[in-house]
Amino acid sequence: MVKITIGTNENPVRFSYANVHQPVSVNGSDLKYSVSIIIPKSDKKTIKKIKDAIQKATQENKDKFGGKVPSNLKTPLRDGDVDREDDEAYADSYFINANSKMKPGIVDAELNPIMDQSEFYSGCYGRVSLTFYGFNVNGNRGIAAGLQNIMKTDDGEPLGGRRSAEDDFADDSDDDDDILG
């Protein structure tokens, strides 16, 4: 298992599909905490760090793959322009989907635990610690990313198309322009 931390104050990662407060089951799978981590392609240093960690985990897990690295090995680093081409949040970025059966620790930039679930959301920025490990299940072989801990460093535009109540009602006037009018 290879552990790394990605994101810095100067180059934070962005979080999406953040299921870090309550575990979720996807397609009947076990309950897990998960997050999609978006890394700009321009952040070459972080991309190299991730690729190096995946390579190291691949070498450490050769035994799980029958002693050699398969040509079709799955890795967690994916291209947002290819795999999420219809989502502008992933444009010109790579991403990693990380999960864990255990709840991740979530802190703010001063290392204070974030208790209010509305403070950490899809769209905010920060740092994340991950572990990379090998798997070989039903013929699927690869390296997966385990979610460890999260630090929120900055707010961002919330992702997912939901607006706040304040935004929805801030421009209301006495004009009734609803459909039934």
Residue 164, pLDDT score: 62
Neighbouring-strand partners of residue 15: 37
Measure Cα distances from 56 to 19, 138, 140 in Å. Answer: 28, 23, 19
Distance CA 82, CA 78 (A): 8
**pLDDT band at residue 27, thresholds of 50, 70 and 90?**
confident
pLDDT tops 60 at residue 85: yes
Question: Chain-wide mean pLDDT for the chain?
Answer: 90
CA 119 to chain centre: 16
By mean pLDDT, which of 33-37, 96-100, 147-151, 176-180 is the weakest? 176-180
pTM for the structure as a whole: 0.86
pLDDT tops 60 at residue 178: no
Mean pLDDT on 120-126:
96
**pLDDT band at residue 67, thresholds of 50, 70 and 90?**
confident
Neighbouring-strand partners of residue 32: 24
Mean pLDDT on 144-149:
97
Strand duo 125-137 + 2-6: pairing? antiparallel
Query: Where are the chain's structural domains?
Result: 2-160
Residue 37, pLDDT score: 98
pLDDT tops 70 at residue 1: yes
Residue 170, pLDDT score: 74
**pLDDT band at residue 118, thresholds of 50, 70 and 90?**
very high
DSSP letter (8 states) at residue 90: G
- Domain 2-160 sits in CATH at 2.40.50.140
Distance CA 34, CA 109 (A): 21
Rg (CA), the chain: 19
